[in-house]
Amino acid sequence: MQYCFILGHNPTLSIAEISQVLKNDFRLIELSARVLIIESPREMNPEALQQRLGGTIKIGQSIKEISAQDLLAFRSDIAGLLKQNKKIFFGFSLYSLESHETTRKYQLQIKSLAMETKKALKNLGLSSRWVDSKDEALSSVVVQKNRLLTQGAEFCFLIGADKIYLAKTLSCQEVEEYSYYDFGRPARSMKQGMLPPKLAKIMINLAQAPQTGIILDPFCGVGTVLQEAIKMGYRNLIGTDIDEGAIKRTITNINWLSDQQKINFSDFNLKIFPADARVLSQLLIPGSIDAIVTEPYLGPVKISSFKFSISKIIKELSELYLAAFRELKQVLKKDGRLVIVFPVFKEGAKLHYLPIIDEVKKHGWQIVDPIPENFRQNPIIKTTSRRSVIYSRPDQMVLREIFIFIRSL
């Protein structure tokens, strides 16, 4: 079966995550900055997969492919695929498989197709409402609030240079839920806990820990990684931080999550305690951890707040990271993964990286390429020469560099 994934704002990370979760067990059909189309040897559970993924906005099933350049060619398919309710809600989204310009000429056709669909449904004795938007694609919030997945459907037109795919949306990201479990938490910190929950979920998926394995976050901040891991079904978790205030905030947030989701922690092995990551091997059993997922201290958030030169900050952080790598190697199982964020400092057009990769490798770590070989030549994929992925938002001065390391010795 063919499925389409509407990718998040960082398509490289989205592809890396999807590939890891699906074990690369699919055939690539199409890939653009917005859309991935694959052929799977087995039927998927889109709702469960959507809950698992942090970097995918929507998942749909590819229904039909045509070479004609007219959306009205799909009109007989649309009405037949709509759920039969007393009142049917439907909407259309345009996504490009090429450049943005390939969708523009189809915007006028959307209204004609909507009117044709309403007419066809009326002839069947069915009432309907077309959910429109000023944008080419309906957001997840619009899809959910207008009951498109429960009382009708959203149809995505995936438009290439010489073909159009029709896909029916089967699931979409719970944007408001992510916001609630981020901004609704009782304990927050501008210095700690800035890791977005979606990114934390992506990193957990990249770590490939077995569901019964132990996940460690040695810089737990306000508990974002632990929170997302709990929501993903992990039960064996350890969170540490040198800052006792961070530990208190983490515990507060985890207890709040427990209240929100009615979680009984009696069947969990959850340990949260203050500890310096640079001496962690003295506190944990050697080789006991299946995966480590973490965002250490990244330095000052804004260039204007730098009290010292960038070179001094990089030197201090490099020492912290290297000391942590030495300790984490002791507690991680052989071939276990460490998914970690490095800071990248932006100074004008120049980017400053932590220059510690060669030293890290000397301590028995190898970098895992996050992108499968069959994707690497696609121009959409943006990885660094260090085999990392940069994650950032506009105007950020401290960028996130995502690495996957494996303990090789």
pLDDT in tens, 344-392: 998 888 999 999 999 999 999 999 999 998 898 899 999 999 999 999 9
Instruction: Say how many C-beta atoms besides its own lie within 10 A of residue 5's C-beta.
Output: 28
pTM: 0.95
DSSP result, 161-189: SS-EEEEEEEEE--HHHHHHHHHT-S---
pLDDT of 335 higher than 60? yes
| Per-residue pLDDT tens digits for 75-130 | 888 888 887 777 899 999 999 998 656 677 788 889 999 999 999 888 888 899 99
Contact between 7 and 50 under an 8 Å Cβ cutoff? The reply is no
The answer to whether the CB of 390 falls within 8 A of the CB of 341 is: no
What proportion of the chain, given as a percentage, has pLDDT over 70?
A: 96
The confidence band for 407, taking pLDDT boundaries of 50, 70 and 90, is very high
Look at residue 302 in the predicted model and tell me its pLDDT.
62
Domains and CATH numbers, the chain: 2-173 (3.30.2130.30), 186-407 (3.40.50.150)
For residue 226, what is the DSSP state? H
pLDDT at position 303 is: 58
Cα separation, 248 vs 282, whole angstroms: 22
C-alpha 366/C-alpha 408 separation (Å) is 6
Within 13 Å and on the Cβ side, how many CA atoms surround 394? 1
Q: How far apart are CA 310 and CA 344, in angstroms?
A: 10
* pLDDT, tens only, 308-330: 688 899 999 999 999 999 999 99
**Cβ density class 252-281: b for 16+ within 10 Å, e for less:** ebbebbeeeeeeeeeeeebebeebbbbebe
Distance CA 340, CA 294 (A): 5
Q: What is the mean pLDDT of residues 205-222?
A: 97
pLDDT averaged over every residue in the chain:
92
Average the pLDDT over 122-145 and give the result: 92
Confidence of residue 393 (pLDDT cuts 50, 70, 90): confident
- Statement: residue 224 has pLDDT above 90: yes
Confidence at residue 15, expressed as pLDDT on a 0 to 100 scale: 98
CA dist 16 and 1 (Å) reads: 21
| Contacts of residue 252, Cβ cutoff 8 Å, sequence gap at least 6 | 186, 187
Which of the four pLDDT bands, split at 50, 70 and 90, describes residue 143? very high
The confidence band for 296, taking pLDDT boundaries of 50, 70 and 90, is very high
What's the whole-number mean pLDDT along residues 331-340? 97
Is it the case that residue 290 has pLDDT exceeding 90? yes
